[in-house]
Amino acid sequence: MDNPASDIEGIIKTLCMGSAHEQDAALNKYFLPDAEFIHPLCWVPRFRNVAIPFFGSIDSLWLVQCIYRWYITFAPRLDIVVDSAAFDEKNNLLYTTARQSLTVWFFPIYSVTVKLVTVLKLEQQSSRLVRDARTSPELEVDGDTTNGAAILKYYIASQEDLYQMNYCLEFLAPHVAARLWTLVQLFTTGVCMVMSVLTLPLHFYLNPDTKRQKVKQ
């Protein structure tokens, strides 16, 4: 990526809504071979060249590809809207907020819309095209000849998807689980309210400054 904040929307839509070929091409183009993937329901740690008997060696990106491949199989009808994207250049972190509406293949009459925040850890490396250009000096990248110069681009080293618990439960038990979890949230809120009142003397004892500030006001 040259401009992560503006490029990421197209990348996300290709990963979630593109064909299998487009999806694989995007993963290979924008992710590092040892990319990490973090999700409430699954995790792929970073690794490279791990040998598997009778299979050969694999990188962590291969497992990420498996997850994305299953994702579009699990929810073949999917639409995603990227609401915002912000790039923390100092820490190489790209934040996005999005809404995705999907229909699972085994329950086609049910559609769910969930919100998520994605945190992408980026690493800046020389362009893969530039590496190839060392053996082909006439290779052009975006209209400019490389001439052996290093063109730095941002690649995704880690993807972390953050969902609220009720959205995660929506995948497992549509309608029912999310509503039950809402009741749990309301119950917990009530418990916090009751306990804050019952333990108010203890609170003032442990936090004497709070009582002084209240008296001054």
Q: Give the pLDDT band (50/70/90) at residue 75.
A: confident
Q: Which residue has the higher pLDDT, 20 or 172?
A: 20
Distance, CA of 115 to CA of 102 (rounded, Å): 12
Please check whether residues 149 and 182 belong to one and the same domain: no
Please check whether residues 157 and 192 belong to one and the same domain: no
Distance, CA of 119 to CA of 167 (rounded, Å): 17
The pLDDT value recorded for residue 67 is 96
Task: Count helices and strands (H / E) in the chain.
Answer: 8, 10
Please check whether residues 88 and 136 belong to one and the same domain: yes
Distance, CA of 69 to CA of 71 (rounded, Å): 5
The count of structural domains within the chain is 2
Please check whether residues 97 and 127 belong to one and the same domain: yes
**118-158 pLDDT per residue, tens:** 999 999 998 865 455 444 444 444 444 455 556 899 999 99
Quick check: 90 and 64 in contact, CB under 8 A? no
**8-64 pLDDT per residue, tens:** 999 999 999 999 999 999 999 999 999 999 999 899 999 999 998 888 899 999 999
The pLDDT value recorded for residue 128 is 65
Please check whether residues 143 and 179 belong to one and the same domain: no
Range of the domain at 105: 4-164
| Mean of the per-residue pLDDT values of the chain | 86
**Residue 143 belongs to some domain of the structure:** yes
